[in-house]
Amino acid sequence: MTVRTGAAAHHRGYFHEAVYYGSDDDLLAVAVPFLRGGVEAGEPTVVSLGERTAGLIRDAIGESVPITYAEGGSVYERPAGAIKAYRELLAGYVAEGAGQIRIIGEIPEPSLGATWDSWARYEAVINHAYDDFPLWSMCAYDTRMVPAHVLEDVARTHPRVAQPDGSHPPSPPYQAPGEFLLDWRPIPHDPVQDATPVLELTNPTAAHARSAVAVPAAAVLTAQQLSELTLAVSEVVTNALRYGVEPVRLRLWLGPDRVVVSVTDLGAGPGDPFAGLVPLSADGGAAGGLGLWIAGQLCGHLAFARDAEGFTVRLTTGVPYTGLGLR
């Protein structure tokens, strides 16, 4: 039996809220009562904020309060990895008898730029991926620096808003995950793609794609990154050949700190809206879901597009381009 308190009382599954704050005081007005309430109720209580904002919480609440800090937002390296890590964390707390878990987190600033497309999908998908856990979480967004289009996506992916006055109204633009994910967007442009591709292949086997990609990519990537990229490329090419429509076209570009690979086929892409972020959908998954999920665990940025050319998967390994002048 799930026991809830406060705004999440009597709510089963995942209680997902956004926190929009325009000042540090606004953030603390929401976060401090939320976290103190969890501690007082004996609930696992986690802060997954950046160094500065986590420091604000520590100063306001005190070091002696039993809160778990994942400083620097370290879990938010890549969306599929964050979902996997959080599901493991939540499952562990439930196995220990937790009736409710509280988390406040924030996506790091560099991810609010050109890689935001994958994090917008993350914010939508977790409404599904965490719903079998007694989780109450708040996702914090600093309106002083978050772009307007990101805030629009936040409103569409969070069912509720946590306010400094203690209220928790619904978010009117909210869309169910499957509906939000039907909004296929162009893949954000990476400047390295302005150059001629270093490698172009048509209908390569997975083995050919791995070996061909490894040669130019070795000039930029570490050994581990190269291994991750070649495995991800193998999975994506296999999916395209097995479930897509030929021809399958692979292109590779090199940047000073990253390798970008796109794989395009003439098909419509996976039918599972959660592909790439969770291994299977609630109804057992659609073709191609597992391979894209593996790729999502391995690449710094995994992006999808469905357009007149067909379905494209773009993988970036190394330091993804953010468009913010940040790395």
DSSP per-residue string spanning 29-49: HHHHHHHHHHHHTT--EEEE-
Distance, CA of 249 to CA of 265 (rounded, Å) = 6
pLDDT in tens, 125-160: 999 999 999 999 999 999 999 999 999 999 999 999
| Topology of domain 6-180, CATH | Rossmann fold (3.40.50)
pLDDT digits (tens, 9 = 90+) for 239-290: 999 999 999 999 999 999 999 999 999 999 888 888 888 885 444 444 445 8
Q: Which residues contact 183 (CB under 8 A, 6 or more apart)?
A: none
Does the pLDDT at position 3 exceed 70? Answer: no
The domain made up of 191-318 is a member of CATH 3.30.565.10: yes
Q: Evaluate whether 160 touches 171 at the Cβ level (below 8 Å).
A: yes
Contact indicator for 30, 21 with CB cutoff of 8 Å: yes
H or E segment and range at residue 25: helix 24-40
- Tokens matching residue 187: 């893949």
Please tell me the distance from the alpha carbon of residue 175 to that of residue 128, in angstroms, as a whole number.
Answer: 12
Tell me: cis bond preceding 247? Omega within 30 of 0 counts.
yes
The number of residues making up the chain comes to: 327
- Assigned token pair, 78: 């890549």
pLDDT at 90 over 50: yes
Two tokens, residue 74: 């370290």
Using DSSP bridges, classify how beta strands 249-254 and 199-202 pair: parallel, antiparallel or unpaired: antiparallel
Q: Which of 145, 148, 147, 172 is nearest to 158 (CA)?
A: 172
Question: What average pLDDT does this structure show over 80-104?
Answer: 96
pTM of the model: 0.90
φ/ψ (deg, to 5) at 323: 75, 5
pLDDT 10s digits, 40-79: 999 999 999 999 999 999 999 998 899 999 866 678 999 9
Q: Work out the number of other CB atoms within 10 angstroms of the CB of residue 281.
A: 18
Domain range list for the chain: 6-180, 191-318
